[in-house]
Amino acid sequence: MYRLIATDVDGTLLDENSRITELNMKALLECKKHGIGIVLATGKTLDSIKHLVESMALKLPQIVLNGSIIITPEADIIHSIKIDKALYYEIIKLIKDNGYPPVVALDNGKLYLEGYHPDLRHLDNMGERFIRVESIESQFFAENAVDIFTPIKMSNPLEGILRKKYSGKLQFTRSGEYFFDILNIEATKGNALISIINNLGIGRKEVAVFGDSPNDLSMFDIAGLRIAVKNSYAEVIKEADIITDENYKSGLGKAIFKYILTD
């Protein structure tokens, strides 16, 4: 019997229009009726998933900003993991020197930037909101940053430069074509999920995880059941126990009714 479901949001729980399908909602609400806990684990901010938490009346802690922050259902912050101050300044400068806009998430869960860039429209389309400031290269930002985002594709040389230079010092995660995040080395969805289930007294084998992107693999590592939607990255498909339909075909809901609620 599975006691908890942890699911990625964009590309997994939500469809291509960033909406939850009727079947996915029905499946998760049915899980709640059977006493199965629901944890959303996302790269999104707490503000952008608040409507999902409220619509399902979720009661457990939730994971946002790729595991750098754990929140209560009321959006109060339980735990956050900040980026090293010295590394923060280096990363911001390197991104700017390569002509890209750094977007900074602070431990208050808000996103900040200095100026807009056309590729940030992908975040706009997902319902994220930015706060514009004169400079993010200040002590306040350096001391409170949990996530640095820049909208570059995997093929962009900047990603390789960052990964090589800061390997073992920072966490790099990708959750979509234009979604590249830089975090504290300990900030992963998997680590956040371990913290939650340990506090609840739930064993790893009692956890089912849904995902589609590389940033979900840290959750796969600790799950009793690993389910990927068909639209997942190849490396996620490879690690999954079960491949379900695409996110826009309610793959999550179908898998819940077939493999979890019939357990």
Domain ranges within the chain, ordered by starting residue: 4-80+188-260, 85-184
Residue range 167-183: average pLDDT? Answer: 88
Instruction: State the residue for tokens 């009727």.
Output: 22
Cα torsion 51, 55, 61, 67: sign = negative
- Give residue-wise pLDDT tens across range 123-160: 666 667 889 999 999 999 999 999 999 988 888 999 99
**Predicted pLDDT of residue 157:** 93
Res 197 pLDDT > 80:
yes
Cα 215 from Cα 19, distance rounded (Å): 21
What is the arrangement of strands in the sheet containing 130-132, beginning at the earlier edge strand? 130-132, 111-113, 103-106, 145-150, 179-184, 170-176
> Whose CA is closest to 193, among 30, 42, 12?
42
**Per-residue pLDDT for 57 more than 60?**
yes
Give 95's pLDDT tier (boundaries 50, 70, 90). Answer: very high
Q: Report the pLDDT value the prediction gives residue 38, as an integer from 0 to 100.
A: 98
Residue 39's DSSP bridge partners are: 6
Give the pLDDT of residue 175: 73
- Fold that domain 85-184 belongs to in CATH: 3.30.1240
Indicate the fold that domain 4-80+188-260 takes in CATH.
Rossmann fold (3.40.50)
pLDDT beyond 90 at 14 = yes
- Quick check: 263 pLDDT over 70? no
Checking if the pLDDT of 107 tops 70, the result is yes
Distance separating alpha carbons of residues 124 and 143, to the nearest angstrom: 26
With 0.85 as the threshold, say if the pTM is over it. Answer: yes
